[in-house]
Structure 1
Amino acid sequence: MSRPPSTVADVMSRKVIAVRPGAEFKEIVAAMARWKVTALPVLEGEGRVIGIVSEADLLLKEEFRDHRPGLVGQLRRPGAAAKAGSERAETLMTSPAVTIAPGASLPQAARLMAAHHVKRLPVVDPHGMIQGVVSRSDLLKVFLRPDESLADDIRRDVIDRLFPLSHHQVHVRVESGVVTLSGDVSDGALAPVAERLARAVEGVVNVRCELTAEET
């Protein structure tokens, strides 16, 4: 049985579309349009990530096309006017880039994206060298796991371990990623623990716990 995806390395794209620091504005726009991406890592040398240029960086040129921000505007958005006048990746990019390690968990990647309001993260090794790119859509791949695979994992890793004496009385049903646990267990106090552990299985959408303590 194949191991379910649990780290960034499991779901990231290893084909990286990137640009060099000297890439020109129109070259960057063309690359984004061709590959249908909203941001590109900027690489130097053998592949070290030094920044990332996004649609937001490029759109500053359009935003300030017919006017420049005043003093207050420049204080509120430092660097915006400079980027609006830039022509190459090295002056357009946001640096340092927000990156993540291949071994990071999928929840860690999701939280990092949310905290920095980004849709894609360059994946780098300890030396900052590009390994891949992970996107929001990559993180959602985990929810494509078959219901049968989820049920097998929950029974083996949760039910059999928590309830070694009464595991045969527990029913695990999974429909469209939603897990239902039902039946009688030897220790009713462990029912909330079973629900929490089942919810932590990668690919689970929700858990309904209907476990009850067997009568003595």
Structure 2
Amino acid sequence: MHGNPHIVSDVMTHTVVAVGQDAQFKDIVKIMRERKVSALPVLDSEGRVIGVVSEADLLPKEEFRDSDPDRFTQQRRLSDLAKASGVTAQELMSAPAVTLHPDATLAQAARIMAQRDIKRLPVINDEGLLKGIVSRADLLKIFMRSDEELAEEVRHEVVGRLFPAPVEPIRVDVDDGVVSLTGRIRDNSLVPVAARLIRAVEGVVDVEFELTSGSARSDLQ
């Protein structure tokens, strides 16, 4: 699969715990505790994802349990106050749910999580049916690729294409995800391109260069 970016379906959890829109507050808490999860997709009667209920959605019930919020708090925390009186998943959930399709790239998933400050995303098909869930931890699985696998991809996809006829063979070493290129090339201008392409290889942590151009030594880091 050289050159093909990994997609969400490669790393997502396929077996997902979800609740229906009529699930009761205490049942939601029980499921979260038993399954050791902090959020649950909420499904309608046809199995489509309509929202997500998280620990943050449940906490207002405790926060406002014995308090009488002032007018400013009421205006500022209107949504939380509504959830404090919620009983069912539909009343408690955050909606609409932020979702992904299985063919989204890991970069797209990471970008959405960062922009929306979300720890996990339901994965749905074109009909909105739940197919899995992807978490921040799932996205980090890509960094478990072996150094040997990374070195092979860098040699095949980057070095072999950018430097097909080097002055001397280019050595590719990978140590804990850090790629090092050593050798002699003809055109220094391709080094920034190589750096960008190597960093784009999924699982690469960083890249270092010890390359020469012609007979003159160059510091290309």
The TM-score normalised by the length of structure 2 is 0.92
Judge which range, 43-52 or 12-21, deviates more.
Answer: 43-52
* Superposed displacement of residue 214, structure 1: 2.4
The TM-score normalised by the length of structure 1 is 0.94
Judge which range, 74-83 or 163-172, deviates more.
Answer: 163-172
Q: Is contact 2:49-2:129 (8 Å) kept? A: yes
What's the CA shift string for 1:126-157, capped at 9, x where partnerless? 22211110001100100000000000000000
Percent identical residues: 53
Q: 1:204 to 1:126 in 2, by over 3 A?
A: same
Tell me the residue number matched to 1:171. 171
Q: Partner letter of residue 82 of structure 1?
A: A
Aligned equivalents of 1:35, 1:3: Cα separation in 2: 37
Q: Secondary structure at the match of 1:134?
A: strand
Tell me the residue number matched to 1:38. 38
Tell me the residue number matched to 1:20. 20
What's the CA shift string for 1:92-122, capped at 9, x where partnerless? 0000011111111111111111111111100
Tell me the residue number matched to 1:193. 193
Q: Partner letter of residue 45 of structure 1?
A: S
| Structure 2 gap segments, 5+ residues each | 217-221
Tell me the residue number matched to 2:75. 75
Aligned equivalents of 1:165, 1:2: Cα separation in 2: 21
Q: How many residues align?
A: 216
Tell me the residue number matched to 1:85. 85
Aligned equivalents of 2:2, 2:18: Cα separation in 1: 31
Q: 1:167 to 1:158 in 2, by over 3 A?
A: farther
Q: Secondary structure at the match of 1:50?
A: strand
Q: Secondary structure at the match of 1:79?
A: helix
Q: 1:181 to 1:111 in 2, by over 3 A?
A: same
* Superposed displacement of residue 205, structure 1: 1.0
Q: Is contact 2:101-2:123 (8 Å) kept? A: yes
Aligned equivalents of 2:189, 2:98: Cα separation in 1: 42
How do 1:42-61 residues align onto structure 2 when only pairs under 5 Å count?
Answer: 42-61=42-61
Q: Secondary structure at the match of 2:184?
A: strand
What's the CA shift string for 1:7-42, capped at 9, x where partnerless? 111100110110000101111111111111111000
Aligned equivalents of 1:192, 1:149: Cα separation in 2: 23
